[in-house]
Structure 1
Amino acid sequence: MKKIVVLGSINIDTILNITRLPLPGETMAMHDRAIAGGGKGANQAIAAVRAGAETSFISKIGQDHAADFMLNTFREDNLDIDHVTMDEKAGTGKAYILLDDKGQNSILIYGGANQTITVDDIHNAEATIKGADCVISEFETPIPATVEMFKIAKANNVVTILNPAPAKTNIPEELLKLTDIIAPNETEAEAITGVKVVDEDSMELAASKMHALGVKTVLITVGSKGSFYSIESDKSGFVNAFKVNAVDTTAAGDTFIGYLAANLEHDLSNLESAMIIASKASSLTVQTQGAQNSIPYKKQLNL
C-alpha cells in the first residue's frame, strides 16, 4: 500500500447553481444552493485514500462548526488527521462556487485557517513525511510550508508532486527545483510559462519551459480532452479522457492528482498507466455535483 502525505487546504464549499456566469453589474437568480466539503488539499487527500493509499493530511481548521463537519468527513474515510491542527483566530476556509448549466465552474476562495500553516507545522509532521512514498501540495496554503515539506521529502527519496493551483506567475525557483512532477491545467501552465496551451505542440513547448525551470516530469491536464505528459530527455505522450456527460467539474483535477499518486511507482515507470486510472476516476467525479462527495472509491472504477 502506497503511503501519501498531502499538504493543503480545507474549505467548506457553497455551490450556487446558475444558468450561466453573470455579466459585470448583472443580478441573477440561482436555481439552487448546496453545501459540501472541499479545498484542494482535502480533495486530493480524500482521492488518495479512496484510491487505496495510506494517506496523511497536513492542514489547519478554524474553531467553528465547519471544522467539525470536515473532521467527521475525514474520519469516515479513515484519513490520518493527526497533523490537522486548529487555529483559534482564523475561521475554516470557505469556497463559493458558481456552477453553470454546462457543468463549468468559477470559484472564489476565502483562505482562513489555510493561510496560517507554518514551517513549524511541517517540522511537526517530519517523521510522517520521511516515511511516505509521495507528497503532494498546491497553492491554497503558504508556499514556505510547501518548500519545507519538499526539502524533507527530497532528502529522504520521497517523490514530490506540485499542483500549481490556483495559478501563479512567479513560483519560487527553489520550489520548482524540489519538484519531481508538476501538474498544472492549461490555465496554470500558461501562467507559469506564458505559452497558451491549445494543442499538443503548445503543450510540448510549455513543458519544455517547465523542464528548463528544473522540473523533470510535467503533466498538463486539459479537461474533457485528457492529459499530456513530458519526461525530460525521455518521452512525451497524451492520455485521452473518458467521454462522459459532465454535471460538475469541481474536484476533477484533485481526483486526478490523488489517484495518480496512489497508483504511481516510485521510479515513475508506470506514469502513463497511472494517468489512465486517474483519468477514469476523474470521469466519475464530474458526473456528480459537489467536491468530496463526488470523488469515487477504487471499487467504483471497475478496473
Structure 2
Amino acid sequence: MSDILVIGSLNMDLVTVTNRMPTVGETIIGKRFDQIPGGKGANQAAAMARLNGNVTMIGRVGEDLFGKALIESLKKDGVNVNFIKEDKKLSTGIATITVDGDGNNSIIVIPGANYGVDKDDIDENINLFNKSKIVLSQLEIPIDTVEYCLKIAKENGNYTILNPAPAKVLSYNLIKNIDLLTPNETELEIISGMKINNFDDVIKASKLLIDKGVKELIVTLGSEGSLYINKDIEKKFNAYKVDAVDTTAAGDSFNGGIVVSVIEGKSMDEAIDFASKVGALTVMKEGAQSSLPYRDEIDNFKE
C-alpha cells in the first residue's frame, strides 16, 4: 500500500545555464547544458520519496530513451513506477529551461505523452485510490483527467491536493473536490480572476476560492514565504533565507514536504515549516529532480 498517489506529468528537462536571458532576436553564448529528469508530477513524486514518503505514480512517457531514463530515475528514488504507461503514439514530454545568473528561470513545456493521460488510466488503476490516503495532481496533464481523478479520489475518501500549475481557470466540478489548493501568486490570480497587487489581495483572492468550494489553501509567495488560509484561519509564514542558485522545482519540493508532513500526522504549522525548509534547500542546487533534498538534509537544516 502506498500512502500517496500522484497523477501527473513526467518530462525530461533540457536545461541551459546562462549569465542572462537573451532579448527577443538576440543570440548569446550560454555557460552549460544539462539533461535532468523533471515534470511536475515526477518532481513531486521524487521529492516525497526522498523525504521517506511511500509514493505511487500514474502517468505516461513515450517509447523512447527519455521515457526510460525518467522511469529509472523515479525507481532509483523509491517511487512505485509500475503504473506509468509507455505511450505508443506520443513522445516523452520535454521542458526547455533557461536559468540566468540570479537563479531565475523561464520554461517552455512540450507535453507529449503527458497529454495522453486519460480517464482510462484512472479507471484501470482504481484500486490505487482505495489503497492511498492522499491523492496529488497538477495541471500538466489534461484538465478533464485531473477533474475526473479528483472526483474518484473524493468518492474513495482520499484527501485531495491540487498544485494548479501551469494555471488554468478551474471549473466548479473540479474546485468542489479539492481539499487543499497550493498556488503561487501568479496562479492564484489566474484561477481567482482577481488582480493581485499586494498581500491583502492574496487574502481576498484566496477567500474567493474558499467561497467557491476549496477547503483550504497554501499560497506560496517566493522569498516572502507562504500564506495558509481556510474559512476560519489566515496565517502568514516566513521563508528561510538562503542564497538561491536555481528556483526550478522549488514549488514541487514544497508540495512534497506538505504531503509527507500531513501523512506523518503533523499540524499544518509544522507541515509548512518543514516544507519551507525543503523548498529552501531545493533552490540552493541546480535542476529539477537533481536539486531535491533528502530527509537527512532537512533534519540537519540550519538557516
TM over 0.5: yes
Distance 1:142 1:58, change over 3 A: same
Aligned to 1:128: 128
Report the secondary structure of 1:21's partner residue: coil
Aligned to 1:271: 268
TM-score by length of 1: 0.95
1:89-168 → structure 2 map (5 Å cutoff) = 89-168=89-168
Alpha-carbon contact 1:140-1:165 (below 8 Å) kept: yes
**How far apart are residue 198 of structure 1 and its match?**
4.5
1:284-299 → structure 2 map (5 Å cutoff) = 284-299=281-296
Report the secondary structure of 2:129's partner residue: helix
Distance 1:199 1:272, change over 3 A: farther
* 135-144 or 193-202, larger mean C-alpha shift: 193-202
The one-letter code matched in structure 1 to 2:173 is: E
Q: Deviation digits for residues 263-290 of structure 1, max 9, x if unmatched?
A: 1159x87112101101101111111101
Quote the Cα distance in structure 1 between the aligned partners of 2:122 and 2:45: 16
**How far apart are residue 55 of structure 1 and its match?**
0.3
**How far apart are residue 199 of structure 1 and its match?**
3.6
Alpha-carbon contact 2:38-2:288 (below 8 Å) kept: yes
1:222 correspondence with 2:227: no
1:175 correspondence with 2:174: yes
Quote the Cα distance in structure 1 between the aligned partners of 2:62 and 2:174: 28
Quote the Cα distance in structure 2 between the aligned partners of 1:272 and 1:198: 26
Alpha-carbon contact 2:16-2:30 (below 8 Å) kept: yes
Quote the Cα distance in structure 2 between the aligned partners of 1:97 and 1:10: 15
Quote the Cα distance in structure 1 between the aligned partners of 2:45 and 2:111: 18
TM-score by length of 2: 0.95
Distance 1:57 1:2, change over 3 A: closer
Alpha-carbon contact 1:114-1:140 (below 8 Å) kept: yes
Unaligned runs of 5+ in 2: none
Aligned to 1:261: 259
Report the secondary structure of 1:264's partner residue: helix
**How far apart are residue 21 of structure 1 and its match?**
2.0
The one-letter code matched in structure 1 to 2:274 is: I
The one-letter code matched in structure 2 to 1:52 is: N
Given the alignment, which residue of 234, 238, 241 partners 1:236? 234
Quote the Cα distance in structure 1 between the aligned partners of 2:242 and 2:212: 35
Given the alignment, which residue of 237, 240, 243 partners 1:245? 243
Quote the Cα distance in structure 1 between the aligned partners of 2:286 and 2:249: 10
Aligned to 1:85: 85
The one-letter code matched in structure 2 to 1:289 is: E
**How far apart are residue 194 of structure 1 and its match?**
3.1
Unaligned runs of 5+ in 1: none
The one-letter code matched in structure 2 to 1:278 is: A
Quote the Cα distance in structure 2 between the aligned partners of 1:104 and 1:269: 32
Quote the Cα distance in structure 1 between the aligned partners of 2:189 and 2:49: 30
**How far apart are residue 60 of structure 1 and its match?**
0.2
Report the secondary structure of 1:238's partner residue: strand
Q: Deviation digits for residues 70-92 of structure 1, max 9, x if unmatched?
A: 11111111211121001011111
The Cα RMSD (Å) is 1.6
Alpha-carbon contact 2:240-2:276 (below 8 Å) kept: yes
**How far apart are residue 48 of structure 1 and its match?**
1.2
Report the secondary structure of 2:26's partner residue: coil
Aligned to 2:183: 184
Alpha-carbon contact 1:6-1:56 (below 8 Å) kept: yes
Quote the Cα distance in structure 2 between the aligned partners of 1:246 and 1:14: 20
Q: Deviation digits for residues 149-205 of structure 1, max 9, x if unmatched?
A: 11121112211001110021x212111110001110111011112334444312211
Aligned to 1:23: 23
The one-letter code matched in structure 1 to 2:280 is: S
Distance 1:20 1:68, change over 3 A: same
Q: Deviation digits for residues 63-109 of structure 1, max 9, x if unmatched?
A: 00111111111111121112100101111100000101000101000
- % identity of equivalent residues: 38
Quote the Cα distance in structure 1 between the aligned partners of 2:251 and 2:195: 19
